[in-house]
Amino acid sequence: MKLLSSDIKTKEILDWKGVHLLNYQFSACSMKTRIYLNLKKIPFTSHQINLSTGENFSEWFQGINPRSLVPVLIHDGEVHIESNDILEHLEGCFKESPLIPENMEEKVKEILKFEDNLHVDIRNITFKFLVPRFLNKGKSVQPKAKNKATLNGELDSMDDVNRNFWEQYEKYGITDEDASKSLIRFRTALDDLNDQLKDSQYILGPELSLVDIAWFIYATRIQHANYPLQRLHPNVFGWYERLYANNLFRKEVRRPLIMQFVLYVHSLILRLKGRSIEDFLLDQ
Ligand SMILES: N[C@@H](CCC(=O)N[C@@H](CS)C(=O)NCC(=O)O)C(=O)O
């Protein structure tokens, strides 16, 4: 999705030349775009927007993406949001080593749409089973600027969605009901993927595509949340391991040791309390 320059309040970025990615090291959608840029060998400048401190709610950032989400691509002064749209836009500009197999444009679009619809589910799973609530306590969801954000000159219906998510999360966390629904949706999608990968090296056949990059990120995240991918979907696990062997994938999903340690302790606590992802799966 390309934004109109008249909707951009942070005007300075309209002069930026080349490829710039506003992203956060540990955001799933950001990882997706970084892996893509690595694989395509597209030189880019990375600008970190720290989601854990709420930098995405700053006036500067919201003047670029009113939805307050990363990643954002700034390509020769044009602003593109939505990670899958960003990949498709870049694929249209950088034709070498294509990552959309010939005559598969529609199929790729369809799968990416499906993947995007699961984003709320991966978020529920992440904040229920992976990230402890106290880690989000320092996040400052700043009050909305008075003048409403516009997209394509119209009020954006997604404008307050992210802000509302954090307000609800602060009060109630992720409810058991929402977490269970999200787990079922993911398990069903992974079952289908497992069938697709039975006799195939990549999701769409013998060639690596955008769809593999997108699903690699989900497979990483759900395993970090201790989902038993190998046991429940062995073909997906095999495919994941093949991609993970490639450093261009692996380096973007790496987590510092201290973070691994904190998340490990949290996972032990969940297990002791009978609140782990495995416990929820048993109840389904
Ligand atoms: N559909 C969007 C989703 C973007 C999204 O939700 N990004 C997350 C990180 S993966 C974010 O910026 N969250 C902001 C926050 O946590 O406040 C896309 O694919 O780009």
Amino acid letter for position 50: N
25 in ligand 1 pocket by Cβ < 6 Å? Answer: no
User: Higher confidence at residue 159 or residue 194?
Assistant: 194
Q: Is the dihedral of CA 281, 241, 221, 108 positive or negative?
A: negative
Q: Which helix (H) or strand (E) holds 258?
A: helix 257-272
Q: Which domain holds residue 195?
A: 105-126+175-282
199 part of a folded domain = yes
Q: What angle do CA 157, 36, 61 make, to 5 degrees?
A: 40
List the structure tokens of 71.
């990643």
Q: For residue 29, report the distance from its CA to the centre of ligand 1, in Å.
A: 6
Tens of pLDDT along 42-99? 999 999 999 988 899 888 998 899 888 999 999 999 999 999 999 999 999 999 999 9
List the structure tokens of 134.
């106290």
pLDDT of residue 53: 86
Whichever domain contains 211, its CATH number is 1.20.1050.10
Strand 150-151 with 154-155, pairing:
antiparallel
188 Cα distance to chain centroid = 19
Q: Is the dihedral of CA 8, 13, 17, 18 positive or negative?
A: negative
270 part of a folded domain = yes
Q: For residue 32, report the distance from its CA to the centre of ligand 1, in Å.
A: 11
Tens of pLDDT along 223-270? 999 999 999 999 999 999 999 999 999 999 999 999 999 999 999 999
66 part of a folded domain = no
- Residues with Cβ within 8 Å of 93's Cβ and at least 6 positions away in sequence, in order, are 75
196 in ligand 1 pocket by Cβ < 6 Å? Answer: no
62 in ligand 1 pocket by Cβ < 6 Å? Answer: no
pLDDT of residue 142: 65
CA nearest ligand 1 atom 3, residue: 82
